[in-house]
Amino acid sequence: MNTDKIKLAFAVLIIISSLVGYYYWSETSQLLRTVAILASLGIGGFIAIQTAPGKEAWSFAAGARNEVRKVIWPTRRETMQGTLVVIVMVILIGLYIWILDKLSLWAIYDLVLGVAG
């Protein structure tokens, strides 16, 4: 348990030091600095995965990937039909609310207040 904390702290230290180095050596090639950051992310990630929380996170990510593979994505036609249904329903509900608004306006001004609007 204690070694896991040390490993995680070391991984974070590696990544932070590469970010600091990226800006400290700003006159160096940007490609070289970017490669250094990517390498530190890889090394830090490898160290972090060796810990118990890292193994749990990796297992969770693998499980999530498997679940995404099980998803049945809609076809283009199904997507277009669903979108069309949503658009039509929004228009119909908008009209319904507009009619209710006009009826309530008429009822309040003409019937209740007696003012011709």
CA separation for the pair 56, 63 (Å, rounded): 10
Asked whether the predicted pLDDT for residue 28 surpasses 60, the reply is yes
The whole-model pTM stands at: 0.55
The tally of CA atoms less than 13 A away on the side-chain side of residue 59 is: 7
Task: Supply the DSSP string of the chain, one letter for each residue.
Answer: -HHHHHHHHHHHHHHHHHHHHHHHTTTS-HHHHHHHHHHHHHHHHHHHHTSHHHHHHHHHHHHHHHHHHH--PPPHHHHHHHHHHHHHHHHHHHHHHHHHHHHHHHIIIIIIS----
pLDDT, one tens digit per residue, over 42-101 is: 999 999 999 999 999 999 999 999 999 999 999 999 999 999 999 999 999 999 999 999
